[in-house]
Structure 1
């Protein structure tokens, strides 16, 4: 991992935004590559999907829609310990997601004047589950359970066809779908799946969705950008990120293990340590060297840690560390310091925050009860992680009676006149014309 030494410098937020490590990512190029794929599915439907499955997944002649009975039957091959873990995840996530659903609120402006704030679920949602370097049953559950907590009535799931599973999605994806109660599943991957959700594919019974959610690679993110506006999207999530703020009190074994854990996702994954202790930095480096070579995906980890998106950042103090973190806006932020709460109080921009040495990011990936679908690429400054709120739309329901409308008639007429829209005011006055005509008779 390279070192970025910021000690002894007075840096503005603009400086920090320029200096924090980022992956070299050209979304524009990715959009140019996927746009023809999206348009092909829009225009030619199933034929285009089959061509893309052949070219990108190496699968031909498979059923694009997975029979519901096959989804249920997949649980016969699920090991008991994995099923128990997935069921525990579902139980925890249902409780945490339910807490994200706001109660209906009433605002009264006097007798007969009420605004009711309600949150309506989206009608139909398409969930995407990757199936490339790894399969993600946990992501299936994170998306499905959050949508269910919001009250979404229709869920469809897509995941790439697998050569070694007879053209079906990965078996672990089917386990998660079965346990979460999702029985509309498609063996479709990548940009084609996003296009199919957005435009529908009548020949396989796939109706267009209203919103698409779920993680994926840069091409999935690019396809979401292409269809955004045709349908809603959760985010353009990129490769995973972890930033650890640590001081000399942190255990270097914990820090190193956590940096490695996220680096195993992808060669472009970002692992960043921000510390005011040069000694801790060196101890973490030694631990990484010792541990990284022994992990299953050692080559992938080594590439990610050596990339431009990963670094050890040295700072003068923890206040500066917090400023660096906010400039970076990490998907996952860990705080391992002598006074974690003091550091936390300085943090604003992060997808999810893991406080203390015994709260690793991998806990949030699986069984903390929090949702692991989080904003990346610095978008935490304006975006939040996925939850029940992702699938809810706030609506204002306005109800005024005659007396309440009469009370605001004159100020409303003044505003309509100021904006040069007199018919707006006349729409109010029209409700009192008959009475006033009677008064003048």
Structure 2
């Protein structure tokens, strides 16, 4: 397992991750040099900055051509969820990355983006609705929507804080919001060496199900997420406020590696939703996460919904919900519009897992349920469901391992009832 608080060596370079200092491999990129991932030049934030009254988004909006903007080692304060795009439309974010010109942001050493505590005016509005209102939470600290080309986000910290509000005579500690969201990019996406500290969620389903990092691809472009620390505690606080740490949605062959999601509540620590051939490697899910009795919700390590070809390799599952570590559902769902992939009989392979097991002996526990997303039947009411036929747990040598399988309330099948590696 990676040392998330110290040093790692990659391609002959020393990188310090999530510890107490440097977040860059070498020096800050030179102005005008070409970013190898996006193929566009670097522009320094100081080159764009004009006045102390300009917000970060306003400064980025001055870009005339495509570029990756590099930031110095500093803390940048963000206010409210009212950033405007170049056309003047409200983006419901504190920092908006203009889709046609900002091809990425790259930090140096400890580049931090902090949401100022109590700066939001969106509490109790449709931007951050209550669970009973339905819909989705649109408020996010940093947002990229409909990027027209490749997008890279590297070497930054995103810090969330409480955003209190009052409604109908009741005072709330914070409304819900996401930390970093990337939605429907037209090109490949790279998110690496990013620390997310604090966002707010209060449920296991939208709108209360929010994310530290959420990436919705919507097209078969490559997605790489690597070296991520998603901490659900508010910045400068021990209070656990966030729900999902990393959320990957509607992606084909995404690659996730060296991810630590921890100290979340009321939901899965990481979620894989409507994907094909997703691989998670050397990750830690759910460390320090808690159930939320006041919300009547429980937390667990990993949730897979309507996927096929999911591989979890060398991962640690540190939180169990009623004894299960992984949830896996599939059905007759289209994974991505216009693509030939569905979640019918979708497979799950778990390779060389490490796990905590408070109630099921020394076995990894995988749960699936009878009815899936949108109420579609995934299995019969009294039969062993289809998913286990393509559900395997193996060791590092590929040898089948016993696991504990739970299907809704109809079957609890211990490993001894299954052939090695599952059905």
Greater RCO (CA < 8 Å, at least 6 residues apart): 1
* Global fold match (TM > 0.5): no
In terms of fraction of residues, the more helix-rich structure is 1
Which structure's CA Rg is the greater one?
Answer: 1
- TM-score normalised by the chain length of structure 2: 0.19
- TM-score normalised by the chain length of structure 1: 0.19
In terms of fraction of residues, the more strand-rich structure is 2
